[in-house]
Structure 1
């Protein structure tokens, strides 16, 4: 099978690494790829992900049998619809179903219509009405801009002043800030839950917990994610059963009934409350860095599962996860998520990977001749597997300490919730 993988981050490196293990894979092409992905794929950096015509042409020239879409933006932009119209199977939902991530208001209205448990909410197109609502509800309270925000655009305001300031910030965002979603603050522990969905069949694909704050102790600004581990101990079999029956399956059924069947991975951000799991948000792709720990734990042929999902033939397949724990530690450029420099040299990855159970995924790197350089905010994902989370964490940080990159930093407390249990 000839596969085209869209994307260039750590998530896509992890997908390439796992896809390359499939005996059914004949060729893997990545667009645009990165230096880590290039170990397993031929990278095509010259075509932007926004150029759907060029992607279709590339698929024809390369006789592509399956397109795997890594990031969310091309899905929200309708790349899956375009490819399917050309007869090219795609792992990833069409434009309408991708609104689960593309529009927070779309998701909340779907939850309201189908009694899917989520935080109570209000939606406002007028700043003064939003401010009045915030004053009535008080704090803590959650405010979200509609649209794709690359992991940002969400404010958990612990005081009334923070909430009112957030309203002003959202409405200053131009087109993205035309509406604001204001939600009740949910108490509990967050879990990332992943499922493969082919329109009708839903297969659980494991759980994880990530760490959004930049610094130890969950301090500092929100980021795209500074680390993750899998499985999430808080997510018991009973909670998984409830999440499937009360949240995931009703969502898949609603989209299928609306003639917009979901085909891809559905990533549910859940809050485990005293009443049970409630939906915080949906994402329409594997999480980053959660994908890295899921791929490390997956026991089986990823390509077979993704192709079956794209073809609508998941029924009869099974997702098998190894019982071991996996953890990934994000190494980022100093200054991230604020201003940061690019071009600092990274050494020692090969030595880091001599630690048992460790693989280093590239999230934001580039080559300058033989030199590996940092080329982003989140740059490396140091990922380790072990019989338990404590040993996995020990391996991951042992590998981190072998990487020579003075301009980088990481959190030193990834998986603290799991260890606290």
Structure 2
């Protein structure tokens, strides 16, 4: 039997080597990028987040017929259509964060927690998609308060946490790596972000620069309006939505210009998305990362086709339908009824209530003034406009992005 011992040792060594090699191979396979489709395209998996263009909705929750609303489809339908940047405005109401314009006592779209739950459900059903959420925080609510809602929705586990407060455009991971790591939600906050407290709520202006917002000019020059970083190295957001002004009781107010909507959201021509993006490319020698629009569905697939061309991928095959809220005449009623869901689209969902915003000023803001919220006055729908104006006369200010 002794002569068999060397053979037994050899067999054991061979088995151990095989197991070790197999384990190492498995570990190597786990480290190899697995994502093959990212935001609908294989070509995007190898691109860095900072080198991709995403279409976004300004006031994504402001869905309705009122003159100050901004969208025709609810957030689920926006995401289904291909929107990948969602912008929201937040205020405290009874110690709970709500999505409100100007003042929650006048208009409210319900708790942020409900909105995040809807977003979480959509992300769970779409595991190869990356979404960006931009939170405007005019009341400087502590990020830890927001964190409670993210945890409740399970989004804290999906949210991407950068290595530092500021990340250069070229230092962001690829979409494929983010999907592999399960970090498919990027969250920016304009004011009062705290990297030490909640690292996945990222300071916007250290990482993104914006051009002017709520403008009435169709020039859309893509010049810097707000940033605390270098426009050369940060991400770029262009606000491509047009307002018109009117005067009520001597006060100038800004409202979404639906009369020029098909031009604003068209591919080419003066005032179009195509022109606005071209201005960004001419000035900054690169594509914008985010294109924020009102009534994104007004021109069908046109905005999505343009973004696809910027990303160098095929145009989407789904058909974006125009909501009756987008194409219809704005109502001056202070409330609007929810449209019933009869197909794959719905005008409102869950807690979504018709709300709207405007700003009375879109002047340039220097980086030194970013410690305070923007001093622009938001005006809600006409049904509550008189109340707002009287409140303003008494010295009540509503500030928002």
Same fold (TM over 0.5): no
Higher Cα Rg, which structure: 2
What is the TM-score with the length of structure 1 in the denominator? 0.30
What is the TM-score with the length of structure 2 in the denominator? 0.31
Larger strand proportion of the pair: 1
